[in-house]
Amino acid sequence: MRKGETGRDRRPNLVLILADDLGFSDIGSYGSEIETPNLDRLAAHGLRFTQFYNCGRCCPSRASILTGLYPHQTGIGYMNGNHGMPGYTGDLNNRCVTIAEALREVGYQTWISGRWHVTPVNPSHHNWPLQRGFDRFYGTIHGAGSYYDPVTLARGNEYIQPEGADFYYTDAISDNACRFLEDGKADQPFFLYLSYTAPHWPLHARPQDIVRCRDRYLAGWDELRKRRYQRQREIGLMESGWPLSPREPGVPAWEQAKDREWQALRMAVYAAQVESMDRGIGRVISCLEKSGRLDDTLILFASDNGGCAEEMNPKLRGIHLPEKTRQGCPVHFGNDPSILPGPEDTYASYGVPWANVSNTPFRLFKQYVHEGGIASPLIAHWPSGIASRGGFCRQAAHVIDIMSTSLELARATYPAEVRGCPVLPCEGRSLLPALQGKPSEPRILYWEHRGNRALLKDHRKLVSRAVASDAGKWELYDLTDDRTELRDQAAAHPEEVKVLEQLYEDWARRCGVMPWDTVNDRPIATDTSS
């Protein structure tokens, strides 16, 4: 351990901030009109990655972030339902180690505030945060839920009820993170996992926050998307040769859209959710500043998948939806133009058109492994460790890299076994060289979610959709000049497709990836809502 004259352990702290269903362009420093001054401040004094990837869906991404493995290797190849196959148990297995487990072993304090979502909701606590390396936990075990009355809200190993009539989950996550920081030992480094549910549906925001955003989206999704793309080019985020992908098929031009005021309000509530999260992040930054720990803390901010195009329908009802509010009023479930989103007695989403805006300039959404589903912002802020301020890192990186980054930061070793069980080798690589401006070595990255498949080898990307009219057909793109995936080269390069496909198949066998039809035919033992 590196200690100063006072005996304080001088190893850097780590704050990992994860947004939920936040699109690539949904914060100001990535082109958005949504006001995120605290994240923008981190970007201005840190480093922005232009090609950082998640796993395309909430709990698979969270499993990979925590372990440095691909989702199927952890048992969470799909969601939290048990499909009876090793890669699809829906529960962290005993062949992986979490960042918290690895860092606590070498003297770090470990805390999580927010969404867990890597174990089913059942009576067993074997994979709750305190059982997987965290010293303190406040948040929800399950994924989505009401921001006013979240189900599976817990502290430590006990379920609890929301406190106070003005309870709002995003604020509670931020406030508990600050409490952990204030209560922590000043002479010991820490790992804080700040895992927001925002801005995942439902569209829940405080009235005063909605008012600030209410008129911002009356210009419509076409205009807002063009403005974001233009800002991305102006700030240097986008390479000039990347065209803006077309409006999603089936989405009308804004001028032909019905219920335009209601449509604009949906996005306004979503923006209010993001802005509330940003204010909470600001409070966490203030806590670090007041304690004198900001300069020696690596802060990473990312999203677990791209913007979500899901429309609310009765099939999505699950344990995450209370039938009534805390006051006993029925909850109105669905996207109904006669019901304004935002209050506790509503349960709505912002839908395909606005998700298309969130993922500017890319196409497709959460659950797909085209760029719109897997491209995430990544902001890295570390005053004592990043020399280049306000710039961009254009190296490809992935959430599997966070484990290796954490270990190098803490001067820790990846374990060979945990609790007597052998651990799979880490799949990621440390981001610290990238933060220091060093070039990266060539690598191959892989994805599979719900039958959607992809491989990225240097700048060549092989990708397919499971639900397209030509389901399973490979597409091939050169991301150097076609990051928005508009010029398919598969027909022109059949031999290259074969080579890359074989690499994908080898990886799939190694990591326990099964054909989606096989997985989907198995009965599900647990709720799988997102």
E strands of 10-68, at which residues? 13-19, 47-53
Peptide bond into 523 cis (omega under 30): no
Name the region of 206 (left: φ>0; alpha: ψ -120 to 50; beta: rest): beta
If 0-12 CB within 10 Å is exposed, 13-18 middle and 19+ buried, where does residue 370 land? buried
Catalytic residue numbers read 58, 117
CA-nearest of 244, 198, 285, 233 to 30 is 233
Q: Judge contact between 303 and 18, C-beta under 8 A.
A: yes
CB atoms closer than 10 angstroms to residue 425: 10
Structure tokens at 266: 């949906």
The H or E element that residue 381 is part of is strand 375-381
- The dihedral through the CA atoms of 455, 460, 464, 468 has a sign that is positive
| Euclidean distance between the first and the last CA atom of the chain, given in angstroms as a whole number | 40
Rounded-to-integer distance, Cα 15 and Cα 377, Å: 16
Name the region of 411 (left: φ>0; alpha: ψ -120 to 50; beta: rest): left
E strands of 169-295, at which residues? 190-195
Rounded-to-integer distance, Cα 190 and Cα 24, Å: 28
Q: Judge contact between 190 and 110, C-beta under 8 A.
A: yes
474-499: buried (b, 16+ CB within 10 Å) or exposed (e) per residue? bbbbebeebbbbeeeebeeeeeebee
Rounded-to-5 percentages of helix, strand, coil across the chain: 30, 20, 55
CB atoms closer than 10 angstroms to residue 7: 8
CB atoms closer than 10 angstroms to residue 164: 7
- The dihedral through the CA atoms of 212, 213, 215, 216 has a sign that is positive
What type of residue sits at position 484?
Answer: T
Strand pairing report for 421-422 and 417-418: antiparallel
Structure tokens at 61: 């991404």
Locus of tokens 């799979």 = 424
If 0-12 CB within 10 Å is exposed, 13-18 middle and 19+ buried, where does residue 381 land? buried
Q: Judge contact between 403 and 426, C-beta under 8 A.
A: yes
Q: Judge contact between 64 and 74, C-beta under 8 A.
A: yes
CA-nearest of 163, 71, 157 to 112 is 157
